[in-house]
Amino acid sequence: MDNESVLFKVTKGLYGLPQAGLLAQQRLKVHLANAGYNQCPAVPCLFQHVANGVSSTLVVDNFGIKYSTRAGANDLVATLQELYPLKVELTGKHYLGMTITRDRKNRTLSLSMLGYTDKVLQQIKYIGSA
Per the domain annotation, does 115 fall within a domain? yes
Per the domain annotation, does 130 fall within a domain? no
- Confidence (pLDDT) at 106: 96
Per the domain annotation, does 5 fall within a domain? no
Above 90 in pLDDT, residue 3?
A: no
Per the domain annotation, does 128 fall within a domain? no
pLDDT digit string, tens, across residues 82-105: 998 888 887 888 888 889 999 999
- Confidence (pLDDT) at 81: 94
Distance of CA 8 to the CA centre of its chain: 29
Residue type, position 27, single letter: R
pLDDT digit string, tens, across residues 18-72: 888 888 888 999 999 999 999 999 988 899 999 999 999 988 778 889 999 999 9
Count of domains forming the chain: 1
Per the domain annotation, does 11 fall within a domain? no
Q: Which domain holds residue 97?
A: 20-123
Average pLDDT score over residue span 94-117: 90
Per the domain annotation, does 129 fall within a domain? no
* Cβ within 8 Å of residue 21, ≥6 positions away: none
Distance of CA 30 to the CA centre of its chain: 16
Per the domain annotation, does 83 fall within a domain? yes
Per the domain annotation, does 15 fall within a domain? no
